[in-house]
Structure 1
Amino acid sequence: MHSTTEHRLANLVIIGAMKCGTSSLHRYLSCHPQIAMAPAKELDFFVKEKNWQRGVTWYRSQFADAPIRGEASPNYTRYPIFQGVPERMHQLIPDAKLIYLVRDPVRRILSHYLHNYLDRTENQSLTGALNDLPSNHYVNCSRYYWQLEQFLPYYSLDRLLIVSLEEWSTDRHTTLQRIFQFLEVDWVGDHPVFNGAVPRLPQKNRLTDMGNWVAKLPTSRRFCQWLPGLTERSGELSMDESLEQRLIEILQPDVERLRSLTGRSFARWSV
């Protein structure tokens, strides 16, 4: 029999991917009466270089008591930068359910790069930032099958739900149904909070939403014209067709493995 303290460990983890809607999903799930999401997004507890050293007592303290207790940390699928995440997770919460959000992998790279660029943690042009293909950290975050491969020895497919940003954006009602069924919680999708604008977190960085919006533009267009007043950095935000094609060629094998694993077509993707 589990104690109350043990019961308060997470049993839901949104493992990524970066720039795929994890913040939006975290906010929506926070509104469900049977779900207690950690107040702070990106606990990064299972990342040794981040918060692992804080210990289990700290991790437990992040969750209120509820049938589902969850967190969202996209760094969990940033292998090989952060290694050993699935092993640590399985040691502590072996019965947890995992949600992995994905999107067109080329669009994800653009959104990720743009976020870093506007946040001034990326100083290179897009071409410069991707000059070490195929082993590039932006590209590796878009290798969804490869990232999942790290988890599959520890978590079976029935403990994993894959949600695409495209379906989340265009058919949120049906997607929420899938998520609630997966989590075995009541359907509350008809509540006004799930039919209006995305609930906001006060600390949410506006750059995330801007990055996602700009990344929806055609990849060959220059982005600086859409960012007046945000940056004086000259025309570095672009992707020429040859670079886009190179990314597609690199990512194609991984996407095909993801399709085979999930039985899904991801038909809207450029890859």
Structure 2
Amino acid sequence: MHTETEPRGPHRLPHFLVIGAMKCATTTLHEQLARQPGLSMSRPKEPNFFSDDDRYARGLGWYASCFDGAGPSDLRGESSTHYTKRPNHPNTLGRMVRALPRVKLIYVMRHPIDRLVSHYFHEVTVGRVSGGLEDAVEEHPELIDYGRYAMQVAPYLEAYGPSAVLPVFFDRLAQRPDDELARIGRFLGAPGPMAWDHGLRPQNVGRERLRHDPLRNAIVRLPVLTGLRRRCLPRAWADRLKSHWKVKDTPPTVPPALRERLARAFDPDLERLGAMLGVPLDCASFREKTSGRPLSWARPGGRVRA
């Protein structure tokens, strides 16, 4: 475990973080930012350094190594959605403030019910959740908690101030990517204009993911089998096997009764988020209100409680 006296290597630590939310196009945004001149994004994409105890125990030297590919004048960034997964990672903010007292933060939000469905579908495909959507909502409170955006972002606003936290919305990012990327560039102080790469496919899409399968995992992870596979298996056969393991399902449709129940769960938090942004928000109006003009913090000083 590192200590507070360990050298921090500020020349290699990030200038900005994409802090979430999960399943809100953060991977796509990360890859788009990585394509911009003067910016360098971490590898791996999600170090999860401040949130995950095992990563934090590796020390700031390990964290700094995630930015080894950056040029001396590059703006360095990373994208870890675990940073807005309260209450599961309670130590995140304190650790972050100690190491990065002046970092800039980008928080991406999506209609909370859409985010929940995508999150559920992700967990099913990787084998962490089984059963139907309604049962999962009852058994896994994080499906709702991670979409309570006001609750998640309020501590960052209090710790860093509103000028250091940029609210970004999924629908506007999808509909006007060039405008939103330019806005992000201005927020970051990018050295030049930023241009969205329209040839890059959306990243981390559920239907492009490989479903959980013990046999495939064994083939991928065993070094001997990996070497044989790479040397002996023709590419066409490998692609055919990969397609066999690809997710064939589609995200579930939310039944009307469950949608109403989820709206009742999310609307109080959206009301608080709307007060912070100076615009009325609830599940019914979320897409309309967040896909139009860019929103900024209107009442960032207000305390928002879980």
TM-score, scaled relative to structure 1: 0.81
Aligned-pair CA distance for 1:59: 0.8
- Which residue in the other structure is 2:176 paired with? 171
- Which string of whole-angstrom CA distances, capped at 9 and with x for unpartnered residues, describes residues 188-215 of structure 1? 335xxx2422268xxx65537679xxxx
Aligned-pair CA distance for 1:21: 0.7
* CA RMSD in angstroms, aligned pairs only: 2.9
- Which residue in the other structure is 1:112 paired with? 119
CA distance in structure 1 between the partners assigned to 2:280 and 2:254 by the alignment: 25
Q: Number of residue pairs matched?
A: 244
2:85 aligned to 56, 62, 78, which one?
A: 78
Q: 1:234-245 counterparts in 2 under 5 A?
A: 237-245=252-260
Q: 1:174-213 counterparts in 2 under 5 A?
A: 174-190=179-195, 194-198=196-200, 205=204, 207=206
1:40 aligned to 40, 44, 64, which one?
A: 44
Structure 1, unpaired ranges of 5+: 212-227
**Alignment pair present for 1:126 and 2:133:** yes
CA distance in structure 1 between the partners assigned to 2:186 and 2:131 by the alignment: 43
Aligned to 1:47, what secondary structure does the other structure show?
coil
- Which string of whole-angstrom CA distances, capped at 9 and with x for unpartnered residues, describes residues 19-43 of structure 1? 0010011001101121111021110
CA distance in structure 2 between the partners assigned to 1:158 and 1:89 by the alignment: 17
Aligned to 2:58, what secondary structure does the other structure show?
helix
Structure 2, unpaired ranges of 5+: 1-6, 211-243, 290-306
- Which residue in the other structure is 2:240 paired with? none
Q: If each structure's helix is expressed as a fraction of its own residues, which one has the higher value?
A: 2
Structure with higher Rg: it is: 2
- Which residue in the other structure is 1:217 paired with? none
CA distance in structure 2 between the partners assigned to 1:264 and 1:187 by the alignment: 32
What amino acid is the match of 1:250?
A: A
**Alignment pair present for 1:58 and 2:84:** no
Of all paired residues, the percent bearing the same amino acid is 29
TM-score, scaled relative to structure 2: 0.72
Aligned to 1:175, what secondary structure does the other structure show?
helix
Asked whether the equivalents of residues 23 and 115 of structure 2 are also in contact (C-alpha less than 8 Å), the reply is yes
CA distance in structure 1 between the partners assigned to 2:208 and 2:276 by the alignment: 30
